[in-house]
């Protein structure tokens, strides 16, 4: 009996608290009854899961053609990387993901995590690029798909981070010229779209390099992403630096610490910790932004999907299923990152330090 009363109270509070709420509930339920069966029908009941183009075409979009994923998943996930060697980027990606997740969840001590990073990054390049340990060399023009997305995002964040700290400190410098230059850089980059920075990296970097020196397009685009991400990240870090009360500077000075010592041991650790959630947002943006490199002909996840489907008359009408598939991959990555940052925020709110 009590159960019933409690349920009724819950329903009242959450679904029928007033006229508007009640109407919204009824309307949303009606919409669900109207739309959901069709959606389930399309996604599951009438869907084709086999890699059979004929069966997909026979269904004629009444059901989803997940067969396109079954047929093309290796091309979508690895781009033009040689088929027989795809275990290498797979292993490299798994290693890198493992280190990223272990760092996010703090599964191990700081020292062993640093060691893991120091091993995982060279291992990624060695496995994917080949050329040593009897692995056939694979040029970076053939890298693609998920490993490329992950590489661009991870290296983008890792290299943007020190640059962003330097720029944030530069904006607090006592040298007006340095302050001005750092401000100019940040405002310039934040004012323009990423695509223009990628055009810059792809078309202009080759012209400003001395003759005989050529950097491949992957590295140039990576540099563009780093420069772009660092501008946003440095604003975040600057916010963190400004949030540290002046008393901290004074106390450090009173203890006899120099400016740089105080920065290294007192101010920066607190400032960075304060902005970890915002930095995670930057990481989410960088991860999503890597999809733009397809515009300058690097075939990461989004680009390799187009590459896989556009030229194939049998499968090209099932792009939507392909988009949903890689959308799910992006979504999982971004959602995990934003959950991490929210969890971190609540831990900080719950009391004191979280690390």
The runs of H, that is alpha helices, within the chain are: 2-14, 19-40, 53-59, 67-78, 87-105, 110-129, 145-170, 176-191, 194-199, 217-242, 246-254, 259-262, 268-274, 276-289, 301-310, 319-350
Residues with Cβ within 8 Å of residue 84, at least 6 apart in sequence: none
Question: What is the chain's Cα-based Rg?
Answer: 25
Q: Residue 123 or residue 334: which is nearer to other proteins going by CB? A: 334
Question: Contact at 8 Å (CB) between 140 and 218?
Answer: yes
Determine contact, residues 80/88, Cβ cutoff 8 Å: no
Is residue 334 near other proteins by the rule CB under 8 A? yes
Per CB under 8 A, the list member of 25, 46, 142, 278 interacting with other proteins is: 25
- How many residues belong to the site for other proteins (CB under 8 A)? 57
Is residue 214 near other proteins by the rule CB under 8 A?
no
- Given 178, 244, 348, 354, the residue binding other proteins (CB under 8 A): 178
Residue choice 3, 84, 132, 174 for contact with other proteins (CB under 8 A):
174
Q: Which is nearer to other proteins, 71 or 300 (CB)?
A: 300
Residue 46 makes CB contacts below 8 A (sequence gap 6+) with: 59, 62, 63, 64
Among 3, 4, 60, 210, binds other proteins (CB under 8 A): 210
Binding mask 252-291 for other proteins (x = CB under 8 A): --------------------------------x---xx-x
When binding is defined by CB under 8 A, the residue of 73, 257, 319, 341 that contacts other proteins is: 319
User: Least distance to other proteins from the beta carbon of 264, Å?
Assistant: 20
The total number of residues shown for the chain amounts to 355
Kindly state the smallest distance separating residue 207's Cβ from other proteins, in Å: 5
The one among 42, 125, 330, 344 contacting other proteins by CB under 8 A: 330
Smaller CB separation from other proteins, 80 or 319: 319
138 near 128, Cβ under 8 Å? yes
Q: Which of 2, 132, 211, 353 binds other proteins (CB under 8 A)?
A: 211
Provide the 8-state DSSP code for 312.
-
Q: Is 30 in the site for other proteins (CB under 8 A)?
A: no
In the complex, least distance from residue 114 CB atom to other proteins, rounded to whole angstroms: 29
Question: Per CB under 8 A, does 338 bind other proteins?
Answer: yes
Crossing angle (nearest 10°) for helices 276-289 and 217-242 = 160
Between CA 147 and CA 86 the distance in angstroms is 10
Residues 6+ apart with CB under 8 A from 316: 309, 310
Residue 175 in the binding site for other proteins (CB under 8 A): yes
In the chain, the N- to C-terminal Cα span, in Å, equals 47
With contacts defined by CB under 8 A, name the span among 39-47, 93-101, 223-231, 323-331 that binds other proteins: 323-331
Q: Which residue has the tokens 């005989």?
A: 212
Among 207, 246, 313, 350, binds other proteins (CB under 8 A): 207
Interface with other proteins (CB under 8 A): 13-15, 17-18, 20-21, 24-25, 28-29, 61, 174-178, 181, 188, 190-196, 199-200, 203-204, 206-211, 284, 288-289, 291-292, 294-295, 302, 306, 317, 319-320, 323-324, 326-327, 330-331, 334-335, 338
């Amino acid at each position: 009996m009590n159960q019933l009363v409690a349920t009724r109270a819950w329903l009242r509070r959450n679904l029928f608290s007033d006229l508007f709420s009640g109407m919204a509930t009824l309307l949303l339920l009606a919409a669900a009854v109207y739309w959901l069966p069709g959606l389930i029908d399309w996604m599951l009941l009438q869907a084709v899961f086999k890699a059979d183009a004929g069966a997909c075409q026979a269904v004629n979009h009444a059901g989803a053609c997940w067969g396109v994923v079954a047929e093309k998943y290796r091309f979508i996930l690895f781009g033009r990387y040689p088929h027989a060697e795809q275990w290498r980027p797979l292993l490299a990606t798994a290693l890198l993901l493992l280190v990223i997740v272990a760092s996010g969840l703090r599964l191990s001590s700081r020292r062993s995590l640093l060691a893991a990073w120091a091993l995982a990054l060279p291992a990624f390049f060695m496995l994917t690029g080949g050329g040593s340990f009897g692995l056939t060399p694979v040029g970076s023009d053939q890298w693609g798909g998920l490993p490329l997305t992950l590489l661009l995002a991870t290296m983008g964040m890792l290299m943007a981070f020190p640059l962003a700290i330097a720029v944030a400190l530069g904006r607090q410098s006592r040298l007006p010229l340095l302050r001005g230059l750092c401000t100019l850089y940040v405002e310039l980059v934040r004012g323009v779209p990423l695509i223009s920075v990628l055009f810059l990296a792809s078309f202009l970097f080759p012209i400003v390099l001395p003759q005989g020196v050529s950097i491949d397009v992957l590295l140039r685009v990576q540099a563009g992403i780093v420069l772009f991400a660092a501008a946003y990240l440095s604003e975040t870090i600057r916010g963190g630096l400004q949030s540290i009360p002046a008393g901290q500077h004074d106390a450090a000075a009173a203890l006899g610490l120099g400016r740089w010592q105080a920065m290294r041991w007192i101010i920066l650790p607190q400032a960075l910790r304060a902005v970890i959630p915002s930095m995670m947002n930057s990481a989410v943006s960088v991860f999503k932004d890597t999809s733009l490199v397809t515009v300058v002909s690097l075939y990461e996840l989004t680009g390799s999907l187009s590459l896989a489907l556009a030229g194939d008359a049998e499968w090209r009408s099932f792009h939507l299923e392909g988009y949903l598939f890689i959308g799910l991959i992006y979504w999982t990555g971004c959602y995990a990152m934003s959950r991490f940052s929210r969890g971190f925020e609540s831990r900080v709110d719950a009391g004191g330090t979280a690390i």
